[in-house]
Structure 1
Amino acid sequence: MTTLDTPKTLHIRCGLDIQRNLQEAGFIGDFLEFSDPFCQGPVLDLPGLEWLTARSQFISQHYDMPLADVEQRQQLAYKRLSTAHQYEHVVLWFEHDNYDQLILAYVLTRLAAANLAERLQLICISDFPGIAHFSGLGQLSPEQLIYLYKQQRFEVSPAQYQDAKRTWHAFQQGEVAELNAIIKQGTPAIEPMAKALKRQLQELPWTDCGAGLTLQLVLQVLQDKGARTAGQLFHELNLVLEPLPHLGDLMFWALLKHQASEGLIQIQPSGPDWSQHLVSLPSMSQLQITNSWWVGPFDISRQDCPRWDPVSGQVVATG
């Protein structure tokens, strides 16, 4: 019997959404969930322990998870990523949004030093035949995942390493000129990456209104349709308004809570689940963020935080 992979294969994915279907499809290798959500929280150039601490504290605080559990999970994921070179075959499963692409940029940057050569392969797609509104690999059946593995899996090229390293370095360092250059020039070897980076940077305050794109979309729905449950808002943004859906439910809820803490929206508890809470516009609102909220290396509460210019389609420095 011919197998798809071997026990010495490692499948890396930024979530658990395809793990069961991979198993049902007949894949027998190990699975690594590496899901540090770089599209939210501080992404700073810090030594290893400080990096893990900063990331874990953000996730624990904003996603309502016990810090000890987050730290344990993060440490395990980063440790397992550092041992990927011990496998005979490593397969990366990613899609086109900024949550996936920022993690992919980091993973490829880390694995570049492992010298995996032809042992490292990438599946990275923006759509799938027959799916009109493709949003992620989690939509795919076991049979469709087999199709990707056989037809859309390619050895990671030097150019792909280069695009990933350039993108990750510019994002982590907050190099405005280089970020704008990547958006303008694109990332030809990993076509979705520059587009995802652009969408990520649109979360910076905009020059014309002072709000990032997700906040603008939330306010638009509430202004047009009135109060909505958090679950309704989540689905309307992801299915209708969001140009590049990338936020999971916990990430979206964390952002709503931050917006409420700034007085930009109101949240009225209703039912045991976050998705049932009622979200509405406050009686008075000013688009002025005072508490820290990070877009990569940028704390948007700071007066000198760069902004997104919708006219030029680039980041502009303010300091």
Structure 2
Amino acid sequence: MRLIVTNGDAAVERMRAAGIDGEILPWRDVLHDGPVTDEEQLERLSQLRAAFIAKEFGVPHEEVALSFAERDSTIRRHAEFDRIELWLEHDLYDQLQLIQVLHFLAEEKRIDGVYLVQADDYLGVQSEGQIRKLAEMAAPVTIEQFELACHAWRAFTSSDPTVLVAFAAHDIAALPYLKPALLRLLAEFPDPIRGLSLTEERVLQRLEEGPTRRGELFKAVVAQEDASFMGDASFFRRVDGLTFVPEPLVEGVEVPYTLIREPEKDTGYKAFADAILRLTPAGRRVLAGRLDHAMTNDVDRWIGGTRLRPALLLRYDRNAGELIAPR
């Protein structure tokens, strides 16, 4: 029997269409958003993640919790499968899933019969022929790759972000897409001067050019990524973080994203995406370096196991690759 672990439902559909055999398990978690702490048990972390996703993305808690429980139950059955394949892409979303699954399997002492299919493009848009070629490229996961993934997972989930910064600075070529993914993650820490993450900076820079529809803003910002990893829900949460704060940097958002339910079915989503957003005077001051967003607006968010909050607003210098203590 073969188990295939992949990133989400679009990839599952492409594999099925290409005639790939086996049980296919979509992992689905947006690990780059919210707390990912060093829980010893997969199921305990899943409970934490389900609560976060339900609260922040407006999805019924029962739905998320059941999905994760079914996923965890399947991967727990790993001994039933002669072969486990991890089909994951090059972007941050997938690379975090990769190190989580490899860490779990290593902890379970399941290191034999595990294969990796790495794609440098998005599985959900691959043709059936491309999917079949990828299947032929499956390579056994080496001990070095298992060890590297375990170190990466522990660094990502640590409450001490210096561990992650130090890890990302090392040679981790055995998992070739991991280093750029982790460096992109570190860029979501506030910068030293303006207190903006890289995503927030790009949002404000695009709005500085003029008012923009929310959906078009999402496309413009995501297009700047070397490896796109963020869905619209994650993006709109970040825009909310620039809007529903004491000193708004963006205006034109009437309700937070969590109030827009099932966007693919909800006719209200179109109006939500078509809303025109503008840069506020405060937003212009932040871009000019005359106002610190993180300090002014009491930023409180998680990056892996690290909680950024007013009492501990660590900064990250993207050019130097260094964390900077709060001022």
- When the two structures are superposed, what TM-score results if normalisation uses the length of structure 2? 0.85
Quick check: 1:234 aligned with 2:228? no
Contact 1:266 1:279 in 2 (8 A): yes
Q: Deviations over 1:71-94 (max 9, x none)?
A: 111222222222223211111011
Aligned amino acid, residue 72 of structure 1: L
* C-alpha distance in 2 between matches for 1:318 and 1:186: 28
Instruction: Give 1:244 shift.
Output: 3.3
2:34 corresponds to which residue? Answer: 41
2:323 corresponds to which residue? Answer: 315
Instruction: Give 1:198 shift.
Output: 0.9
Among 120, 132, 136, the residue aligned to 1:146 = 132
1:199 corresponds to which residue? Answer: 184
Quick check: 1:178 aligned with 2:171? no
* C-alpha distance in 1 between matches for 2:323 and 2:90: 21
1:31 corresponds to which residue? Answer: 24
With 229-238 and 168-177 compared, the bigger mean Cα shift is at 168-177
1:68 corresponds to which residue? Answer: 62
* C-alpha distance in 2 between matches for 1:115 and 1:297: 24
* C-alpha distance in 2 between matches for 1:148 and 1:312: 37
* C-alpha distance in 1 between matches for 2:149 and 2:321: 21
Quick check: 1:296 aligned with 2:312? no
2:10 corresponds to which residue? Answer: 17
2:78 corresponds to which residue? Answer: 84
* C-alpha distance in 1 between matches for 2:172 and 2:152: 8
* C-alpha distance in 2 between matches for 1:32 and 1:45: 23
Instruction: Give 1:256 shift.
Output: 1.8
* C-alpha distance in 2 between matches for 1:80 and 1:255: 32
Contact 1:269 1:276 in 2 (8 A): no
Instruction: Give 1:202 shift.
Output: 0.7
Aligned amino acid, residue 9 of structure 2: L
Among 277, 280, 283, the residue aligned to 2:278 = 280
Partner secondary structure for residue 18 of structure 1: helix
CA 1:165–1:47 in structure 2 vs 1: closer, same or farther (change >3 Å)?
Answer: closer
Aligned amino acid, residue 256 of structure 1: V
Instruction: Give 1:257 shift.
Output: 2.0
Aligned amino acid, residue 276 of structure 2: L
Aligned amino acid, residue 313 of structure 1: G
Q: Which runs of 5+ in 2 are unaligned?
A: 256-266, 284-290
* C-alpha distance in 2 between matches for 1:231 and 1:13: 27
Contact 1:56 1:74 in 2 (8 A): yes
Structure 2 matches for 1:79-158, cutoff 5 A?
A: 79-126=73-120, 134=121, 136-150=122-136, 152-158=137-143
Two-structure CA RMSD over aligned residues (Å): 2.1
CA 1:79–1:277 in structure 2 vs 1: closer, same or farther (change >3 Å)?
Answer: farther
Total equivalences in the alignment: 301
Instruction: Give 1:51 shift.
Output: 2.6
CA 1:50–1:84 in structure 2 vs 1: closer, same or farther (change >3 Å)?
Answer: closer
Q: Answer 1 or 2: higher relative contact order, Cα 8 Å, separation at least 6.
A: 2
* C-alpha distance in 2 between matches for 1:125 and 1:195: 15
Contact 1:11 1:32 in 2 (8 A): yes
Contact 1:217 1:242 in 2 (8 A): no
2:208 corresponds to which residue? Answer: 223
Aligned amino acid, residue 278 of structure 1: I
Q: Deviations over 1:213-251 (max 9, x none)?
A: 000000010002x12122101111122x22432101221
Q: Deviations over 1:131-167 (max 9, x none)?
A: xxx4x222211110110111x2100000100111111
Aligned amino acid, residue 80 of structure 1: T
2:152 corresponds to which residue? Answer: 167
Instruction: Give 1:47 shift.
Output: 5.2
Aligned amino acid, residue 229 of structure 2: H
* Identical residues among aligned pairs (%): 25
Contact 2:249 2:281 in 1 (8 A): no
1:131 corresponds to which residue? Answer: none
Q: Which runs of 5+ in 1 are unaligned?
A: 1-7, 127-133
Q: Deviations over 1:283-311 (max 9, x none)?
A: 43451342532111222233323211123
Aligned amino acid, residue 266 of structure 1: E
Instruction: Give 1:121 shift.
Output: 0.3
CA 1:247–1:122 in structure 2 vs 1: closer, same or farther (change >3 Å)?
Answer: same
Instruction: Give 1:183 shift.
Output: 2.0
